[in-house]
Amino acid sequence: MPRRKRTAGSSSDGTADSDDSGDHEKTDSSHSEANQRNNTRLTRASLRLSQSSQVVLMLFFLTPLHVYKMLFLFLDAPPDVKLAAERDESPPRTPTGNAPSSESDIDISSPNASHDESVTKDQKDSGSDPSHRPKRRRFHESYNFNMKCPTPGCNSLGHLTGKHERHFSISGCPLYHNLSADECKVKAIEREKQEEERSQGQNEENRHATRHQAPTPRQVRYKEKVMEMRKRRDSGLTKDQKEKYMEHRQTHGTTREPLLENITSDYDLELFRKAQARAAEDLEKLRLQGQITEGSNMIKTILFGRYELDTWYHSPYPEEYARLGRLYICEFCLKYMKSQTILRRHMAKCVWKHPPGDEVYRKGAISVFEVDGKKNKIYCQNLCLLAKLFLDHKTLYYDVEPFLFYVMTEADNTGCHLVGYFSKEKNSFLNYNVSCILTMPQYMRQGYGKMLIDFSYLLSKVEEKVGSPERPLSDLGLISYRSYWKEVLLRYMCNFKGKEISIKEISQETAVNPVDIVSTLQSLQMLKYWKGKHLVLKRQDLIDEWKAKETKRGNNNKTIDPSSLKWTPPKGT
Q: Which residues are catalytic?
A: 470
DSSP state of 261: T
Question: In b/e form, how buried is each residue of 10-33, taking b as 16+ CB within 10 angstroms?
Answer: eeeeeeeeeeeeeebeeeeeeeee
Q: Are 404 and 424 in contact (CB under 8 A)?
A: yes
Distance (Å, whole) CA 558 – CA 451:
7
- Give the C-alpha separation, 377 to 399, whole Å: 9
CB of 358 within 8 A of CB of 405? no
Rounded Cα distance, 337 and 382, in Å: 12
In what order do the strands lie in the sheet containing 336-337? 307-310, 301-304, 326-329, 336-337
| Terminal-to-terminal C-alpha distance of the chain | 112
DSSP symbol at 4: P
Q: Which amino acid is at 455?
A: F
* 424: nearest Cα among 380, 365, 362, 487: 380
Evaluate the CA torsion angle 465, 564, 477, 321 in order and state its sign. positive
The stretches of 205-265 forming alpha helices (DSSP H) are 217-231, 239-252
- The contacts of residue 251 (CB under 8 Å, 6+ apart) are none
Q: What is the CA radius of gyration of the chain?
A: 37
* CA–CA gap between residue 380 and residue 398 (Å, rounded): 8
The neighbour count for residue 318, using CB atoms within 10 Å, is 9
Q: Which residues pair with 409 in a beta bridge?
A: 367, 418
For 411, the 3-state DSSP assignment is: strand
Are 140 and 146 in contact, with CB atoms under 8 Å apart?
Answer: yes
Contact assessment for residue 482 and residue 475, using Cβ atoms and an 8 Å cutoff: no
Region of residue 487 (phi > 0: left; psi between -120 and 50: alpha; otherwise: beta): alpha
Category of 334 on φ-ψ map: left (φ > 0), alpha (ψ -120 to 50) or beta: left
The SS3 call for residue 58 is: helix
Q: At a CB cut-off of 8 Å and minimum separation 6, what does 2 contact?
A: none
Bin 486: left if φ > 0, else alpha if -120 < ψ < 50, else beta: alpha
HEC secondary structure over 315-368: CCCCHHHHCCCEEEECCCCCCEECCHHHHHHHHHHCCCCCCCCEEEEEECCEEE
For residue 302, list its beta bridge partners. 309, 327
